[in-house]
Amino acid sequence: MSFTGKYELQSQENFEPFMKALGLPEDQIQKGKDLKSISEIVQDGKKFKVTVTAGTKVLKNEFTIGEESEIELLNGEKVKTVVQMEGNNKLVTQLKGMKSVTELNGDTITHTVTLGDLTFKRVSKRI
């Protein structure tokens, strides 16, 4: 199953408390909470390029399944991690005490990030 495509954010849960836990300033949280971000994913075998555009902020990450890579977080911090594939439709990684799971089902991508007992969930549809 290929993740390649463009996806528009449809809904998100726990955005504000999660961004506060990451240490984002209140003004950035308020600006970001209503943005309909667009995620573009290009998959070439085990190589992925992910570009997320939210308003004027563009976040670009590249990684290869099973290899260490540097990922930029929403707060601009860069961390090293290894992304694993579970089955043929789920990307899983651990970074800075968080577990990130991105699951593709048909034309819907569900991205869940768990930090302690706080879970941030985003649902995007292919456009």
Angle among Cα 22, 81, 10 to the nearest 5 degrees reads: 55
Average pLDDT, the chain: 93
The pLDDT value recorded for residue 77 is 84
d(CA 92, CA 65): 10
CATH of domain 5-126: 2.40.128.20
Residue 75 has pLDDT above 80, yes or no: no
78 bridge partner residues? 72
pLDDT digits (tens, 9 = 90+) for 78-110: 999 999 999 999 999 998 889 999 999 999 999
Domain spans of the chain, in order of start: 5-126
- Token pair of 39, please? 């995620």
- Cα atoms found within 13 Å of the Cα of residue 40, Cβ hemisphere only: 6
